Homo-oligomer: A and B are copies of this chain.
Amino acid sequence: MSRKLNYKTKWRDEIERFFQEVAKDHVTAADVFEYFRENGYTIGMTTVYRQLDNLVSDGTLNKYTIEAGSPACYEYAGHGADAPGCSCFHCKCEICGRLIHLHCDELKMIQSHLSEHHNFTLNPLRTVFYGVCDACREARV
Residues of A within 8 A of B (CB): 65-72, 91, 93-94, 100, 102, 104, 106-107, 109-110, 113-114, 117-123, 126-134, 137
Contact = CB atoms under 8 A, between A and B. Distances in A.
Contact of A137 (B66, B72, B119): B119
B133 A119 contact: yes
Contact of A114 (B70, B91, B113, B119): B91
A106 B128 CA distance: 19
Give this chain's copy count. Answer: 2
A23 B67 CA distance: 23
A117 B104 contact: yes
Given A65-B65, A110-B110, A127-B131, A104 B119 contact: no
A49 to B, nearest CB: 11
A114 B130 CA distance: 11
B120 A131 contact: yes
A121 B129 contact: no
A131 to B, nearest CB: 4
Given A68-B65, A72-B68, A131 B137 contact: no
B134 A114 contact: no
B123 A130 contact: yes
